[in-house]
Structure 1
């Protein structure tokens, strides 16, 4: 399923172009900020601190004098009041998942939508899928990487009772490095640094190109080879402990020809990759 999202400008065009001081909204024109007669932004306000030259985000306090018996007369389930709940959710579906943490901090309604998990169900129903790479270079510690936005996220530490390293030895049976993209099977040969594709009609493996130059491993251990949506992802790190970088490279097989690897990002690490997984959501 193809990735089909528009950038976060969907939010910025509806929300962040209007900054409010709690009384009158502000609009930014280049370096100049001018007041405008726009309605107050729903549920939260952004204020400018001249001392720190920075903006801060806070929830608005409801004014009981403008409500009946202190109850807010606005829709309690509203998101962006000016465009309605359905259109608001349609915008949020197109935002990167890596932005949902910030979106949830806007106000209670946004936070409830994200924490309930409903937004993820709607993304799936509407065909919006992002594939993130999850891998570990330290026991019980995992990080997530968004290959589109190129953002990192540290995950909570796993329970100490969970381990997957007890029987693994870098000196043992190289691990199987295989991945499936568009119903085609690919394999990484760490010894010859080659990429092979299985020909289902001829029933044999064909060498189609090479792995990235810096895809280091110890007899295949420490090298991750995974399918990530329509991409092949290779994660390789230092061959020895003590320092180096983990590098993430990708190639889209549908582009045809031999693999042309694109460096997505690199991360400092004193160990190689212990384990790796990809999840779409």
Structure 2
């Protein structure tokens, strides 16, 4: 999954008695071990095919010579004990967890159990990765802190799913991709614990073209269309820990092609196309998880792109609103005017801040990703003038001034972003 070896810190580690230096040094030792040890799967294959049966004495000697692959495995790093070992691993980059899991069965079991991610979240240790697809059925991940690229396994689905409209959502330790197969709407689930795709649990009311957002281990999906094309007002909450869907109260208005965000602990649905008017809806709705009620917000999202009102053709051909929340502030990208706006929650108005990255292009908003990534806004897209052979990731830390975009990475790829999601864990 990783492209080449990686190191957590420099080799020259200062010798001091401070606690921070201790866990940094111990974490460094773990990574040194992982970088110099063959993957566990290779060792098991070699043992099964070539190694003769050994006596108990030989097994004991082998365990001592391999740092406890089988004996004292519950300690992980024998000299530190299990608790201190886990403390060290919590501070390692999660992009190194694949290499760490290859050390032995104890490390692999710990990584795949998800225990580390639960502890990291409790301690406020969160890394936000960008997952996106520029080629059908292929997904990549990007770590914006260490600027590492990772290629996910190819999705194994039929041709119908490959060609259908798809939505994506990152929640907890999962990436969910929604689409349609021959006779039904389906969900594919990617787990970062096993680096594999599997079939996800179906919703109570399957849908597409919905608005969605996640908050930790839960996500809410609202609106969209059912398999017969009916526009929906219903909504569901997904719990990634239990893998279950639960219906929640319906919105006031049915809408499709809308966008969803979490802000101030509440779920917002913005824009979309309704049932009685072919123009884009300008109202929004907010769902309070405590009171389990929806409240409509008139004129929350005015006509986009400087237009006085969208026609039926424009409303159905434009992408859902490009919105994202950073530090409980709502931002929007206007693809036609190539500008970024911020929402004033008190006055219910949008304020222009500045421009999008110069080289980010789209087709009526499609093919361009505008997302929150921790404390930053990111834009994932490619310039059309280069023949669709390059993808770029730009980031900006929102402040008081106009956007100042920083190019994080660029690489040869399809320049049209089919789906994009950000996972924080």
Q: 2:78 aligns with which of 64, 78, 81?
A: 81
Q: 1:173 aligns with which of 301, 318, 323?
A: 318
User: Gaps spanning 5+ residues in structure 1: where?
Assistant: 1-6, 21-43, 47-54
Which residue in the other structure is 1:162 paired with? 161
* 232 and 78 in structure 1: CA distance in 2 versus 1, 3 angstrom threshold: same
Counterpart Cα distance in 2 of 1:132 and 1:192: 28
**TM, length-normalised to structure 1:** 0.74
Equivalent residues of 2:24, 2:88 under 8 A apart:
no
Higher RCO (CA 8 Å, separation ≥ 6 residues): 1
Counterpart Cα distance in 2 of 1:234 and 1:45: 34
Residues 1-281 of structure 1 correspond to what in structure 2 (within 5 A)? Answer: 8-9=8-9, 13-14=25-26, 57=38, 64=57, 67=60, 75-158=72-155, 159-160=157-158, 162-163=161-162, 165-166=164-165, 172-239=317-384, 242-253=387-398, 255-281=399-425
Cα deviation, residue 166, structure 1? 4.4
Secondary structure of 2:111 counterpart:
helix
Counterpart Cα distance in 2 of 1:62 and 1:144: 45
Secondary structure of 1:259 counterpart:
coil
Counterpart Cα distance in 1 of 2:55 and 2:357: 57
Equivalent residues of 2:324, 2:332 under 8 A apart:
yes
* 67 and 273 in structure 1: CA distance in 2 versus 1, 3 angstrom threshold: closer
Cα deviation, residue 204, structure 1? 0.9
Equivalent residues of 2:135, 2:414 under 8 A apart:
no
* 197 and 156 in structure 1: CA distance in 2 versus 1, 3 angstrom threshold: same
Counterpart Cα distance in 2 of 1:82 and 1:215: 51
Counterpart Cα distance in 2 of 1:179 and 1:206: 15
Question: How many residues align structurally?
Answer: 242
**TM, length-normalised to structure 2:** 0.50
Cα deviation, residue 278, structure 1? 0.9
Cα deviation, residue 259, structure 1? 1.0
Root-mean-square deviation (CA, aligned residues, Å) is 3.6
User: Gaps spanning 5+ residues in structure 2: where?
Assistant: 1-6, 10-21, 44-53, 167-208, 210-312
Equivalent residues of 1:138, 1:271 under 8 A apart:
no
Per-residue displacement from partner, 1:211-240 (whole Å, max 9, x unpaired)?
Answer: 111111122111110011111111121327
* 240 and 74 in structure 1: CA distance in 2 versus 1, 3 angstrom threshold: same
Counterpart Cα distance in 2 of 1:213 and 1:186: 18
Per-residue displacement from partner, 1:39-96 (whole Å, max 9, x unpaired)?
Answer: xxxxx799xxxxxxxx66488999826959x998952312111122111110100111
* 98 and 16 in structure 1: CA distance in 2 versus 1, 3 angstrom threshold: closer
Counterpart Cα distance in 2 of 1:261 and 1:203: 26
Counterpart Cα distance in 2 of 1:152 and 1:91: 24
Secondary structure of 1:152 counterpart:
strand
Per-residue displacement from partner, 1:105-133 (whole Å, max 9, x unpaired)?
Answer: 11221111112222212212222111111
* 178 and 149 in structure 1: CA distance in 2 versus 1, 3 angstrom threshold: same
Equivalent residues of 1:133, 1:146 under 8 A apart:
yes
